[in-house]
Chains A and B, each alone.
Chain A
Amino acid sequence: MQLQSFDESYVQRLEEGDFRTQEHFVAYFSELIQLKLRSRLNSPQAIEDVRQETFTRVFAALRGGKLRQPDRLGAFVNSMCNNVLLEHYRSNSRDDSLDDEEQPEIPATNVDVLGMIAAKQMKEKIAEILEEMPERDRRLIREVFLEERDKDAVCSDFGVDREYLRVLLHRAKQSFKSLYLKNVAARPPGAVAVGKH
């Protein structure tokens, strides 16, 4: 999705219900919310519930003029998400209070053709990065992320320390990032990222 600055004009368009801006806003913060929630909630359904409830409340607050510092829009979303998450922990399931409030229609995130091409390119790039890694590093990544083994035990088995793991991930990410930025900047708002929950 294209980068936009979250300023007074952006917030004003959101408050006025501009569809493009809402679409960008939902796509941008959906990814961050999902990344934030996946370490805290187990089920994809719970993550989706909290995500939707967060946007419902943010839009309601925006319409009510409750955001006083437009440049803190991101922090406002994060704070709202924290509140919804705490309520979710307390109720452990969606209770009536979450459903009773008026829920405006939230723009859906759609799969687009350009997005799919970009996703394929990015997948190939990641395959290339993995292919160029020494076998040991590939196995490290496999055991830490795919098999979700205890990281200390994996590091001990492979004779490396945790810093090695961080640097390995950092280098791989940096190799991939330039293509990612190129594709993200070119994609229209609302495109779904590859492999997203």
Chain B
Amino acid sequence: MDHNEAVRQNATERYLLDELDPELRDQFEEHLFDCQDCALDLRAGAMFVEQSKVLLAEPATHPVVRPVKAASKAGWFAWFRPAFAVPVLALLLAVIGYQNLVTYPQLTAAANDPQVGPWASVNVSTRGTTDTLIKTHTGEGFGLIVNLPPEDGFASYGVDLYNPAGRLEWSGPLAAGRTEEGRQIYIPGRNRLPGTYTLVVLGVTPAGERKEISRHSIDLQVQ
């Protein structure tokens, strides 16, 4: 195996993933010991894998701490100067007044009145992926009713919701109850972007291990 062939075959990645058959593995190793470029590539990849294992084994990944510029002491007291304080207080009064007279009554009515909104049912009876289409209006949430399989040996259930970018947006348990009743999840509509969301249903074994049961694509169309 020469260098170009090693690059073309993604030999480094396949070696780290243990995907090369014995013959190719021997050929790549023979090249590796002679090629400093490939050796460096492999060592970088191996270090990434080894350190990832260490970091991912920790209870939570440590966010990178970035230095924060300390504020000067004089800056804090500057907020009490009348030039700032008077207009800020006036603005604050206006906001409080608006909330009491407009926002709060609207929220009270919204919380107490029956709501009609879009919803969809998700069946977890079979392993695999299902697609669901939901149409909402801007700012409107939607409901999901998750029907769990009966008697599958899990102590409890949870769900993960991924946004269209693939990022985990919400994760939580499914409310306890008899499996045949189904569980309801309400997804708020505020700032919700259209696209394909992924709902992953997880089962928690009596030993506490989380296992993925199924995943469902929720195609959200905001009108």
Say yes or no: B51 contacts A195, CB within 8 Å: yes
- Taking CB as reference atom, which chain B residue is nearest A33? B33
Q: How many A-B residue pairs have CB under 8 A?
A: 138
Say yes or no: A194 contacts B51, CB within 8 Å: yes
Within 8 A of A (CB), among B83-131: 129
Say yes or no: B53 contacts A157, CB within 8 Å: no
Classify chain B: how many residues form its interface, as a range: 35 or more
Residue-wise interface mask of B (15-44) relative to A, using a CB-CB cutoff of 8 A (1 in contact, 0 not): 011110000000001101111100111111
Say yes or no: B48 contacts A173, CB within 8 Å: yes
Say yes or no: B34 contacts A72, CB within 8 Å: yes
Interchain CA distance A161-B77 in the complex, whole Å: 58
Name A173's contact: one of B44, B129, B167 (CB within 8 Å). Answer: B44
Question: Knowing A39-B18, A128-B64 touch, does A169 contact B45 (C-beta < 8 A)?
Answer: yes
Name A31's contact: one of B16, B43, B62, B64 (CB within 8 Å). Answer: B43
Please tell me if A86 contacts chain B, counting CB pairs below 8 Å.
no
Say yes or no: B19 contacts A162, CB within 8 Å: yes
* Nearest CB in chain A: distance from B128 CB, A: 9
Residue-wise interface mask of A (24-52) relative to B, using a CB-CB cutoff of 8 A (1 in contact, 0 not): 00001101100110010000000000000
Say yes or no: B10 contacts A170, CB within 8 Å: yes
| Chain A residues closer than 8 Å to B62, beta-carbon distance | 127
Name A127's contact: one of B43, B55, B129 (CB within 8 Å). Answer: B55
Name B33's contact: one of A78, A134, A137, A166 (CB within 8 Å). Answer: A78
Name B168's contact: one of A124, A131, A135 (CB within 8 Å). Answer: A135
Please tell me if A75 contacts chain B, counting CB pairs below 8 Å.
yes
Classify chain A: how many residues form its interface, as a range: 35 or more
Say yes or no: B19 contacts A195, CB within 8 Å: no
Question: Knowing A145-B52, A176-B44, A177-B44 touch, does A130 contact B61 (C-beta < 8 A)?
Answer: yes
Within 8 A of A (CB), among B156-179: 160, 162, 165-168
Say yes or no: B53 contacts A145, CB within 8 Å: yes
Say yes or no: B63 contacts A131, CB within 8 Å: yes
- Taking CB as reference atom, which chain B residue is nearest A72? B34
Name B17's contact: one of A28, A134, A151, A193 (CB within 8 Å). Answer: A151
Question: Knowing A122-B47, A180-B44, A180-B47 touch, does A166 contact B56 (C-beta < 8 A)?
Answer: no
Name B13's contact: one of A122, A124, A173 (CB within 8 Å). Answer: A173
| Chain A residues closer than 8 Å to B34, beta-carbon distance | 72-75, 78
B interface residue numbers (CB < 8 A to A): 10, 12-14, 16-19, 29-30, 32-36, 39-57, 61-64, 129, 160, 162, 165-168, 212, 215
Can you list 29 A-B contacts (CB < 8 A)? Answer: A28-B39, A29-B33, A31-B43, A32-B43, A35-B42, A35-B46, A74-B34, A78-B33, A78-B34, A122-B47, A126-B47, A126-B52, A127-B64, A130-B56, A131-B61, A131-B63, A146-B56, A159-B215, A162-B17, A166-B10, A166-B13, A166-B14, A166-B19, A169-B13, A180-B40, A180-B43, A184-B40, A194-B47, A196-B50
A interface residue numbers (CB < 8 A to B): 3, 28-29, 31-32, 35-36, 39, 72-75, 77-78, 122-124, 126-131, 134-138, 141-142, 144-146, 151, 157, 159, 162, 165-166, 169-170, 172-173, 176-177, 180-181, 184, 193-196
Sort A-B residue pairs by CB-CB distance and give the 10 closest, nearest first.
A74-B33, A135-B168, A134-B166, A78-B33, A74-B34, A195-B50, A180-B44, A173-B45, A126-B51, A142-B56
